[in-house]
Structure 1
Amino acid sequence: MRTTGNIETGTRVKLKIYNGPVGFTFCAHHVDNIPGVMFRDVQEKGPFSSWSHSHLFADTLSGSTLTDKIAYTLPLQPFWPRFALRQVQQSLDRIFAHREFLLQQDIRLHSRCSTKPLRLLVTGASGVLGRELIPLLTTGGHSVWRLVRRKPDPNCQEIFWDPARGFLDPGQLPEIDGVIHLAGEYIGLSRWSKQKKERVIDSRVQGTRLLCRVISAMKKKPEVLLCASAVGYYGNSTEKEMSEESPPGSDFISEVCRLWEGATQQAVESGIRTVLLRLGVGLTPRGGALQTILRHSPLGFIRRFGPGTQYISWITTDDMISAMLHCLTCPELDGPVNIAAPEPVTNTEFIKLLARLTGRPLLFPVSGKLLELSYGQMASEILLSGCHVSTVKLQQSGYRFRHPTLETALRQLLGKNNLKPC
């Protein structure tokens, strides 16, 4: 949820953790930081009676090692049955196996995207995607400044801006190598009012124009701008392999994406390499479509939407942020780039696989007409629409997917891949 610093002594981290539909807050305090050797975090508030996690680093002949040492006790632990204690330990084993897997993949990614340490400006840092992107950037040795609409935190390299009022003080900006622009009003999964649709467009167009105007006027311009967009650019289509050259659709989401991308024109004209990230449906347990399906399925049942033939051009957020780093460091990439997994699936295929992996029963489909009656245009354009995009451009530039198939992705995200920590 938030952190007050990096890993130095005194840093506090606050997390919201879910076990199924049940969530709890975990607050940790960093102590005993010895740079290059270790740091330790201890629980201040959370589900354990006590928790101590030591992160130990050591040089070896072939590189370095990271060792996690955990000591914990549970409330009323002597009264817990053995099977419950075993379940807690197995859950922790899965968590740390997942962490180890991600660390290995991150190291490989940073090796492939090797570059000088970059100075980066990021908008939308508090969103689901931004919260995952920034740790990836900083662990790769890059420095990140965040544009925020609230009072900046002086300890977190934050800079105030107000895109609705057209305010961004160029004098507050450091010299930067690149910009990653993710900010925009959440489209949401509720009925769209006229005012909501105006906010969705204005937040993207006004913010993008302001940002591009300011960075284009800098004495030393950033070399690259990554601007978020979406595969919704293509609208609802039954065609396969929609490429970056395919025309836009004619619905509201297509118009949003077209205007959003067009707002980068000043950056393009000023010579900044501009990559338009046409993002697929992001999958993560921390938010978005997957969390919505899992947490709001009635009585644990899973249901498909409407006919189920609509395509989902999905991508895990791990791959999404990895592809962003790739686009940032790949000078050959320019213009629109589809950021989605190479194997889109239909809504029916997605729901059937999710039900099988979670062990949840499938319920009869939700009627498309009922969805449109309840949610209006949002249902017809988000829940009942889709497109099948091509990722040839991204793959030909050298990007390697972490999760090329939906089954490998869902197994990783749901902890069903039987990983074991070393």
Structure 2
Amino acid sequence: MQRSRIAVAGASGLIGGALVRSLKADGHEVVRLVRRAARAEDEVCWDPEARYVDAAGLAGCDVLVNLAGAGVGDRRWTDEYKERIRNGRVLGTAALAEAIAGLENGPRVFVNGSAMGIYGETGDRAVDESAPPGRGFLPELCVEWEAAAAPAQEAGVRTVFTRTGLVVSGQGGAWGRLFPLFKAGLGGRMGDGRQYWSYISLHDEVAAIRYLIDTDGLSGPFNLTAPNPLTNREITAAMGRVLHRPTLFAVPAQVLRTVLGEMAGDVLGSARVLPKRLLESGFTFTYPEIEQAIRAAL
């Protein structure tokens, strides 16, 4: 990809931060969307919940990547926090889509974050991008989230949705919480451990986003998950092998429900998600297996 000007919302997050570092290392100019007055030429002011963005700051950008939003797993899902999760994603996406739809020299590519949570509970059944949405808070949120990008699509901007799985990284996200527990010998399966976890290494997550930016003709939803999803029990065993620690401490499902509330359904639920479109388009994973992904994170 030739040197480009790329705007990133959510640049301070786990994935956004890694993406920005990767882009800058290759000489691209990165413009960060910030929730305050812009203080530098590489900043653009926006307020996702107020559905505001300084559209002029996006003029001249080749690509817009939106990875912003309050963390789904950051805290218990109260009604207030669920509304914050929804507003940050749905209203923020709508603001960005409307902004670039009205620009004459705006981004030609819009990569908008989404999540594998759109499929809901899949049990042992493997699903790809052709599967319908599931039911519940996360699936309904993801449907609204993706639909909010319609103004950009209707304006002819190539729009991609990255339905990301559980990112294997020691820097944050679910694995950022798991690593300390397992290193201390306190790790173990969650519930009965038979639920599928669809994961992806942080390296492959960033590589996939960049691949989707660079590859003309790719649009619509793409599952960003490794091709070999495993059960929580299998992943627990892999963590123990790599870290050389016992994995004896199982967390009963009822305890998770008590501690996490509604969010426990996401931890105990099974999502066997396959990256069919990504593989068919020619993308190659660097860390397709769980032990590879764990070692890369360490």
TM-score range for the pair, normalised by the shorter chain length: over 0.9
The count of corresponding residues between Structure 1 and Structure 2 is 298
2:7 to 121, 127, 131: 121
Query: Over residues 175-222 of structure 1, what are the superposed CA-to-partner deviations in whole Å (9 max), with x where a residue is unaligned?
Result: 111110000111124321100001110110110001000100001232
Are 1:344 and 2:229 matched, yes or no?
yes
TM value normalised by structure 2: 0.96
* Alpha carbons 2:59, 2:103 under 8 Å: kept: no
Tell me the equivalent position of 2:104.
219
TM-superposed CA distance for 1:290, in Å, is 1.6
Q: Which amino acid aligns with 1:272?
A: V
- Asked which structure has the greater CA Rg, the reply is 1
Are 1:315 and 2:209 matched, yes or no?
no
Are 1:174 and 2:59 matched, yes or no?
yes
Query: 1:403-422 counterparts in 2 under 5 A?
Result: 403-414=287-298
Please give the alpha-carbon distance, in whole angstroms, between the structure 2 residues aligned to 1:341 and 1:116: 28
Tell me the equivalent position of 1:397.
281
TM value normalised by structure 1: 0.68
Tell me the equivalent position of 1:6.
none
Tell me the equivalent position of 1:148.
34
Are 1:360 and 2:224 matched, yes or no?
no
Q: Which amino acid aligns with 2:285?
A: F
Are 1:135 and 2:18 matched, yes or no?
no
Are 1:385 and 2:283 matched, yes or no?
no
Please give the alpha-carbon distance, in whole angstroms, between the structure 1 residues aligned to 2:74 and 2:107: 35
Query: Over residues 111-140 of structure 1, what are the superposed CA-to-partner deviations in whole Å (9 max), with x where a residue is unaligned?
Result: xxxx22111111000111111101111222
Please give the alpha-carbon distance, in whole angstroms, between the structure 2 residues aligned to 1:355 and 1:178: 41
Please give the alpha-carbon distance, in whole angstroms, between the structure 2 residues aligned to 1:386 and 1:132: 27
Please give the alpha-carbon distance, in whole angstroms, between the structure 2 residues aligned to 1:124 and 1:298: 29
Query: Over residues 205-256 of structure 1, what are the superposed CA-to-partner deviations in whole Å (9 max), with x where a residue is unaligned?
Result: 1100010001000012321100000101100111433111101010111111
Please give the alpha-carbon distance, in whole angstroms, between the structure 1 residues aligned to 2:240 and 2:285: 24
* Alpha carbons 2:188, 2:247 under 8 Å: kept: yes
Specify every segment of 5 or more residues in structure 1 that has no aligned partner in the other structure, as ranges.
1-114, 415-422
Identity of aligned residues (%): 36
Please give the alpha-carbon distance, in whole angstroms, between the structure 2 residues aligned to 1:127 and 1:375: 22
Query: 1:217-296 counterparts in 2 under 5 A?
Result: 217-296=102-181
1:196 to 68, 81, 87: 81
Q: Which amino acid aligns with 1:245?
A: S
Tell me the equivalent position of 1:35.
none
Specify every segment of 5 or more residues in structure 2 that has no aligned partner in the other structure, as ranges.
none
Tell me the equivalent position of 1:332.
217
TM-superposed CA distance for 1:276, in Å, is 0.6
Please give the alpha-carbon distance, in whole angstroms, between the structure 1 residues aligned to 2:182 and 2:283: 35
Query: 1:14-93 counterparts in 2 under 5 A?
Result: none
Query: Over residues 123-176 of structure 1, what are the superposed CA-to-partner deviations in whole Å (9 max), with x where a residue is unaligned?
Result: 00011111110111122222110100034342x611111122222222333311
SS of the counterpart of 1:336? strand
Please give the alpha-carbon distance, in whole angstroms, between the structure 2 residues aligned to 1:251 and 1:160: 33
Please give the alpha-carbon distance, in whole angstroms, between the structure 2 residues aligned to 1:328 and 1:124: 17
* Alpha carbons 2:58, 2:107 under 8 Å: kept: no
Query: Over residues 33-54 of structure 1, what are the superposed CA-to-partner deviations in whole Å (9 max), with x where a residue is unaligned?
Result: xxxxxxxxxxxxxxxxxxxxxx
Query: Over residues 370-411 of structure 1, what are the superposed CA-to-partner deviations in whole Å (9 max), with x where a residue is unaligned?
Result: 111222111112x10131112121012111111011112222
Q: Which amino acid aligns with 1:184?
A: G
* Alpha carbons 2:5, 2:29 under 8 Å: kept: yes
TM-superposed CA distance for 1:304, in Å, is 0.9
Please give the alpha-carbon distance, in whole angstroms, between the structure 2 residues aligned to 1:288 and 1:361: 23
TM-superposed CA distance for 1:299, in Å, is 4.8
- The structure whose RCO (Cα within 8 Å, separation 6+) is larger is 2
Q: Which amino acid aligns with 1:388?
A: R
Please give the alpha-carbon distance, in whole angstroms, between the structure 2 residues aligned to 1:341 and 1:157: 33
Comparing both structures, which one devotes a greater share of its residues to helix? 2
Q: CA RMSD in A?
A: 1.5
* Alpha carbons 1:189, 1:378 under 8 Å: kept: no
Q: Which amino acid aligns with 2:34?
A: V
